[in-house]
């Protein structure tokens, strides 16, 4: 089989390419050039591109570079900025997977005659009774099915995750045996297009990046009764459920329970005000077909799956009704649905602002 391997410069994608070669496939590596600005973290840095190229040389495979900077800016960076401007917390890594790795790259692979695209994600794809299933990775501590949940049947049928059956320890051991320069390279934890360095004003990379592109406005902080407690420098950078950096005092734990960007106001209160009976999810993509019934729902990359019952409202949005009240999820984050046994992905979408507060 002719396989196009997305090589980010990390150990997982390096080993993925090596495994496919060992299995006898015709392998070509590709690195996507996504970000043209400053970056020293993640798969957008110059050093990562160089690491990918050198691993490909070591393996004796061709290495291509695809320039997808315009697609990346339009589908990932611009939405990231626009979401912050209206008080939504986006997940750029998921949007990159949605629009670049499992859309644009797949399209390019088809045009070039490749049978499949492979990445180094810790997840698995299997065919069960004619249905393609996205299953959690063998290493649950590194499972990445959450961030690749958006694939449909066509995309799943053309996707390989070679390290999905391995633990991270075994991946690194394999890379060490092969003498790969990426064997002990740490995992990337940051937004790849934002530098980790502070700017000349001492602002963090995130604050500087967003602040150069949209106005950042101060806001008053009030409690649930409207009593003023203090202020924050940038209402656009406040996240639902946040505790650090918002007014507290008196030993009382207060969390952000509402963000009014136009009104320049942040409401804080006890954790009980964050508890909800359900979440509403829109723009849902199903792995196979729409599903209603018992499910497990995961709302962050390494979050604990929660039990819920899925239904569909009059607007066609999915409603996840919790079996027990849960903390609200920040609008813009992804809710990913798994079967009741928490084994395979049913689908997923974006959490909206529409919630019903728990009375418990």
Per DSSP, the residues of 155-177 read: HHHTEE-TTTTS-HHHHHHHHHH
The residue annotated as part of the active site, out of 43, 44, 93, 96, is 96
Contact 282, 349 (CB under 8 A): yes
Contact 313, 280 (CB under 8 A): yes
Strand pairing of 26-33 and 2-6?
Answer: parallel
Closest of 246, 269, 244 to residue 257, by C-alpha: 269
CA distance linking residue 98 with residue 106, whole number of Å: 11
The residue annotated as part of the active site, out of 44, 93, 192, 299, is 192
192 is catalytic: yes
96 is catalytic: yes
Task: Return the bridge partners of 108, or none.
Answer: none
> And the tokens for 260?
């009014």
User: With 0-12 CB in 10 A as exposed, 13-18 as middle and 19+ as buried, what is 241?
Assistant: middle
Cα–Cα separations (whole angstroms), residue 264 to 222, 240, 258, 277: 11, 15, 11, 28
Per DSSP, the residues of 262-324 read: TTTEEEEE-GGGGEEEEEEEEEEEESSS---EEEEEE-STTPPPEEEEEEE-TTS-EEEEEEE
Contact 158, 115 (CB under 8 A): yes
257 membership: H or E segment, kind and range: strand 255-260
Positions marked catalytic: 96, 192
């Amino acid at each position: 089989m002719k396989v196009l391997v997305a090589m980010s410069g990390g150990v997982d994608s390096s080993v993925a390419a090596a495994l496919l070669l060992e299995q006898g496939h015709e392998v070509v590596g590709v690195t996507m050039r996504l970000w043209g600005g400053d970056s020293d973290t993640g798969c957008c840095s110059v050093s990562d591109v160089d690491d990918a190229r050198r691993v490909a040389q070591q393996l004796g495979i061709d290495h291509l570079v695809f320039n997808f900077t315009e697609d990346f800016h339009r589908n990932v960076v611009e939405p990231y900025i626009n979401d912050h401007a209206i008080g939504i917390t986006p997940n750029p890594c998921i949007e990159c997977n949605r629009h670049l790795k499992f859309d644009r790259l797949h399209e390019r692979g088809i045009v070039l005659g490749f049978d499949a695209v492979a990445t180094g994600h810790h997840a698995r794809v299997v065919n069960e009774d004619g249905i393609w299933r996205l299953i959690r990775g063998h290493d649950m501590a590194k499972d990445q099915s959450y961030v690749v949940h958006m694939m449909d049947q066509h995309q799943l049928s053309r996707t390989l995750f070679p390290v999905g059956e391995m633990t991270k320890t075994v991946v690194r051991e394999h890379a060490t045996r092969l003498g790969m320069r990426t064997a002990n390279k740490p995992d990337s934890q940051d937004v790849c297009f934002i530098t980790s360095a502070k700017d000349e004003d001492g602002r963090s990379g995130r604050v500087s990046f967003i602040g150069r592109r949209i106005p950042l406005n101060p806001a008053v902080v009030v409690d649930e009764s409207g009593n003023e407690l203090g202020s924050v420098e940038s209402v656009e950078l406040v996240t639902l459920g946040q505790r650090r950096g918002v007014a507290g005092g008196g030993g009382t734990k207060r969390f952000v329970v509402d963000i009014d960007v136009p009104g320049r106001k942040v409401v804080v209160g006890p954790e009980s005000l964050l508890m909800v009976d359900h979440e509403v999810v829109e723009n849902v993509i199903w792995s196979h077909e729409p599903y209603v019934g018992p499910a497990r729902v995961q709302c962050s990359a390494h979050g604990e799956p929660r039990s819920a019952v899925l239904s569909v409202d009059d607007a066609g949005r999915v409603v996840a009704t919790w079996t027990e009240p849960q903390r609200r999820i920040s609008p813009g984050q992804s809710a990913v649905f798994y079967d009741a046994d928490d084994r395979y992905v049913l689908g997923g979408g974006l959490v909206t602002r529409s919630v019903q507060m728990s009375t418990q």
